Structure 1
Amino acid sequence: MAGFGFVCLVETVAMSVLLRDWPAVHAAVLFLDVYTIVFVVALHASSVVRPHVLDVERGALRIRRYVHVDLCVPLERIASVRRELRMTHERADGELNVEVGAQTTVTLELTEPVTHVTFLGRRRQVRVVRFHADDADGLVRALGRARV
């Protein structure tokens, strides 16, 4: 995200230089460029502020990504958990891939499906959840201890 934000900032400066002779177009493009930079910062902030949460007291793993994914998986429904680095993901029924940078590091297989509600309200049942975690080994160990 930092690289993308930097590229947007360079593009803003370049467009300001190129459009300096056309004030109306310059103002419109500057507004859009600043909006894009704010949007990139907001995307990064939503990733940092809304991480995955393992709540042992409630017995659930909450998998989140931006505002698009917020899935609560009860610990008793987890059949197996493993660290598995995957770089490609095919769309399949019953599977949810929450990738970051086109990769996932943890795979959950569930005993019974959980309902995932998409950002626009569509419901689907998922039995396999793949997601990225910064400390995948630590999460797998913590899930193993929490399920016992």
Structure 2
Amino acid sequence: MVRPHVISQRELRVRYSSFYDVRIPRENIISLRYLKESHDPLKVKAFRGETWLSHDNYYDTNLVAELREPITVTRPLGKTETVRVLKFTADDPKAAVEAYERLAFS
């Protein structure tokens, strides 16, 4: 089963299989932008400060969502973290940003 990320007029959902489903209300998002980064798997931790790195694509991310207010994210084994920045991967990050911007004015 595939559970892709979802962008709507109400929220951004960052999902990965059954491991996590993070819902962020649009009014809490300052920006969603394309930024391709590789994160060294030996040095990176899934949560660093208030930044969450989604590891669904071998430590590469290409989207960054910056939030107005921190949110609580539940990790796969139940522990929670407070984050203000989410870094994750989309198959077509530029199209995701365009959809996010287009839906903001709908």
Query: TM-score, normalised to structure 1's length?
Result: 0.62
Partner residue, 1:52: 5
Residue 22 of structure 2 corresponds to residue 74 of structure 1: no
Which one has the bigger helix percentage?
Answer: 1
Alignment deviations for residues 91-125 of structure 1 (CA, whole Å, 9 cap, x no partner) = 31211111313211100110001110112221111
Q: Which has the bigger relative contact order, CA under 8 A and spacing at least 6?
A: 2
Partner residue, 1:97: 53
Give the alignment partner of residue 77 of structure 2, picking from 120, 127, 132.
120
Over 6 Å off, 4+ runs: none
Q: What percent of counterpart residues are identical? A: 32
Check whether the contact 1:83–1:136 (CA below 8 A) recurs between aligned residues.
yes
Partner residue, 2:91: 134
Please tell me whether Structure 1 or Structure 2 has the larger radius of gyration of its CA atoms. Answer: 1
Alignment deviations for residues 51-100 of structure 1 (CA, whole Å, 9 cap, x no partner) = 111132xx011101122221001111111121000011633121111131
Partner residue, 1:145: 102
Consecutive unaligned residues of structure 2, counting only runs of 5 or more, are: none
RMSD over equivalenced CA pairs, Å: 1.5
Residue 135 of structure 1, CA deviation? 0.8
CA–CA distance in 2 between the matches of 1:62 and 1:81? 12
Query: TM-score, normalised to structure 2's length?
Result: 0.84
Check whether the contact 1:76–1:147 (CA below 8 A) recurs between aligned residues.
no
CA–CA distance in 1 between the matches of 2:17 and 2:53? 14
Amino acid of the residue matched to residue 33 of structure 2? R
Which one has the bigger strand percentage?
Answer: 2
CA–CA distance in 2 between the matches of 1:114 and 1:141? 24
Consecutive unaligned residues of structure 1, counting only runs of 5 or more, are: 1-45
Aligned length: 99
